[in-house]
Structure 1
Amino acid sequence: MTQIATPALREWIVQQTAAGFSPEQVLSAMVAAGWEAGVAEVTLETTLRDYLRSRAPGADAAVAAPVAPLKASAQAAKSAAGTVPVPTMDLGQSPRMLDAGDRQVTVLSTLASPRVVVLGGLLSDEECDALIAAARPRMARSLTVETKTGGEELNESRTSSGMFFNRGESELIQRIEARIARLVNWPVENGEGMQVLYYGVGAEYKPHYDYFDPAEPGTPTILKRGGQRVGTLVMYLNEPERGGGTTFPDVGLEVAPQRGNAVFFSYDKPDPSTRTLHGGAPVIVGEKWVATKWLRQGVFE
C-alpha cells in the first residue's frame, strides 16, 4: 500500500515540532499510527527541512539539529511499532522462589501470552497495613488518564477511591520500590508513583489497557514523562470476602486478591494484540485495597 504525505500530515508534523515534541517522538507517533518507519522518516525529514528553509532560506545549518537524529529515530520507531524491552523476571529454570533483595517471593503461577506472573508474599502483613494506614487520609475518587488532552478525568468505568505516593517519599515506599525494581529487573526511576486504591461493595474497574493509546491526541504529552507504560504490578493489601479479582478477559484468567500477593504483567507494544486487557471485578462482600505500580520505558519525572 502506497502511503502519501498529505498537506494535513505535514502541517501536523510542523505543529507537533513547534509544540516542543522531539523528532523521535513525532516519528514514533507516526509509526504507531500505521506509517512504515522508513517512509515516516523521509516524510518527517523533508517536512522539517522544507519548513525551516521557508522560514530562513539557505539556513541549512539550522536544519541539521532537528534532522540529524532521525536515522536513530527510525530504528527506535520500528521498535515502538513492534516490540520494546520490558520489565521481566528470571523464570528460565521455572523457579519456585525469586530473590527480591530483602525478601524471597514465591512464584505461584505464570502465563506466557500475555506474560502474567502471580506472586506470593511480595509484601508482609505489616507492610500491607502500613500502606493502607498511610493512604487512608489521602483518598479521593479515582481518576483516569484523559488521553485526548493528556490530563485526568472522572470515569464511570472506575468506581474506586485512590491516591498516589510520590516515588521514594518514605522509607516504606523506598523499600517496596527497591524490591520491585530488583524483582522485575527495571530501574526504580522508571516507575510511576505507587497508587493505592480502595474498592467498597459494588466498586469495580471495568476492563481496560494500561498503555496509552497512540491514536489519541493527548498521548504525546503523556509520553514526555517517561515514555509508554510497559508493565503493571498490582499488589493486594487485604482480602475481600467475595469478588474483587483481577480479570484478564481475553484469556479467561482471574487472579484472586490475597493479602501480600501480587500479579505482574508486561506489554511490549501499545496494542490489543498484547492481550493485556484487564479489569478489577466488582467487590461482592467486604472491601478491597490494592497498590499498583506502573512501569515506563524511560525515567518517569
Structure 2
Amino acid sequence: MGTQYITPDLQRWIAEQLRAGVGAAQLVQSMVGAGWQQKIALQAVAQAKIDGWFKKSPETPANAGLPDADIADGRTWVQAHDRQVPVIMTMEHPRVIVFGQLLDADECQAIIDAARPRMSRSETVAEEKDGSEVNAARTSRGMFFERGETDVVTRLEQRIAALVNWPIENGEGLQVLNYQPGAEYQPHYDYFDPSHASSAAILRRGGQRVGTFLVYLNTPKRGGATTFPDVKLAVKPVQGQGVFFSYDKPDPSTLSLHGGAPVLEGEKWVATKWLRQGRFV
C-alpha cells in the first residue's frame, strides 16, 4: 500500500461527516473499510476534533448524531468532567462502552442512602394506555431523582455528559433500582415503541431515547449482570463502573436488546440515565 496523506479534500470530507453527526469511531471504521490505513484514519479524525474542522454551522442542531465517547484514537482513559476514568471494554455494534471508576464508594453509598426511603415497585411504559404499569418482567424496586437534585447526582450527570458528549438537559432524571435475590429485568429495549398508546405523549417531552448509561452502585455477591442477548455479551456489575450503549432508531436491528440477569446472592443497586434526542422536560 502506498503512502497516504491527509489532504484538504479528506479534511473537508471528515468535517462534513462530523457535522452530520457521524461518531468518530464509526468514521474511522468507514475510512478503513474504504482503504485508508487505520493509523492515518485515526490521526485525521483526531486532528479534525482538535482543530475544529467540524464546527457546526448555525443551522446544524447542537445535538445532531448520537452520544458517544471520544475514544477513536485508542485512548484508554477519558476525561469525565472532574476525573479521568478508564475505558474497560468497547463494542461497535451494538455500541457498548464500559467505563471504570465513574463513582467512588462514598458517592455510590450517598446515592443509595438518598434513594432508599423513596423506593417502590418498578413499572414499565404501558402498551395499551397512557402512562406506566407494573410488569411481571421487571421485578425490581426503583425511584427517580430530579436532574441536579443532590450534589452527587449533579456530579454524576456532569460526568456522564462529558463522557458521551451529550447535554445534561437531554437526559431524563436519574433512576435508581434495587434488585433483591431472584429479582431481574427480562430482555427489553429502552427506546419507545411508536406503536404504543403512551409513546406519543412521551416523545413530546424530548424526543426518542438514543442512549442508556447504567452505573453500578454496589457489587452483588453473585448474578445481576447486564446482558445483551443478541451478541452474547454479559457485563458484570462492579461498584463504580458504568456501561453505556446507544441506539440510532427504535428498531431491533440496533441489537440493543438487553436485560438485568437475576441476582443470585446479595442485592444489586444500579443507577440509570436515559438520553433523549432533545431537551427533556
Name the TM-score, length of structure 1 as normaliser.
0.71
Shift of 1:86: 1.2
Equivalent-residue separation in structure 1 for 2:130 and 2:163 (angstroms): 30
Shift of 1:241: 0.7
Amino acid at match of 1:117: I
Identity across aligned pairs (percent)?
Answer: 61
Q: 1:289 aligns with which of 258, 269, 275?
A: 269
* CA 96–145 in structure 1, closer or farther in 2 if over 3 Å, else same: same
Equivalent-residue separation in structure 2 for 1:256 and 1:284 (angstroms): 13
Question: Is this contact kept in 2: 1:147–1:212, CA < 8 A?
Answer: no
The structure with the larger Rg is 1
Shift of 1:217: 2.7
1:165 and 2:145 are equivalent in the alignment:
yes
SS in structure 1 of the partner of residue 166 of structure 2? coil
Equivalent-residue separation in structure 1 for 2:265 and 2:137 (angstroms): 20
Count of matched residue pairs = 218
- The equivalent of 1:121 in structure 2 is 101
Shift of 1:176: 1.1
Shift of 1:189: 0.4
- The equivalent of 1:245 in structure 2 is 225
- The equivalent of 1:106 in structure 2 is 86
Q: Which runs of 5+ in 2 are unaligned?
A: 1-63
Equivalent-residue separation in structure 2 for 1:146 and 1:179 (angstroms): 31
Equivalent-residue separation in structure 1 for 2:130 and 2:98 (angstroms): 31
Where in structure 2 are the equivalents of 1:119-158 lying within 5 Å? 119-158=99-138
Q: 1:280 aligns with which of 239, 242, 260?
A: 260
Equivalent-residue separation in structure 2 for 1:100 and 1:110 (angstroms): 17
Amino acid at match of 1:148: E
Amino acid at match of 1:140: S
- The equivalent of 2:234 in structure 1 is 254
Q: 1:183 aligns with which of 156, 163, 166?
A: 163
- The equivalent of 1:235 in structure 2 is 215
SS in structure 2 of the partner of residue 159 of structure 1? coil
Question: Is this contact kept in 1: 2:225–2:236, CA < 8 A?
Answer: yes
Equivalent-residue separation in structure 1 for 2:198 and 2:175 (angstroms): 22
Q: Which runs of 5+ in 1 are unaligned?
A: 1-83
Question: Is this contact kept in 1: 2:97–2:245, CA < 8 A?
Answer: yes
SS in structure 2 of the partner of residue 109 of structure 1? strand
- The equivalent of 1:57 in structure 2 is none
Question: Is this contact kept in 2: 1:148–1:219, CA < 8 A?
Answer: no
Q: CA RMSD in A?
A: 0.9
SS in structure 1 of the partner of residue 186 of structure 2? strand
SS in structure 2 of the partner of residue 176 of structure 1? helix
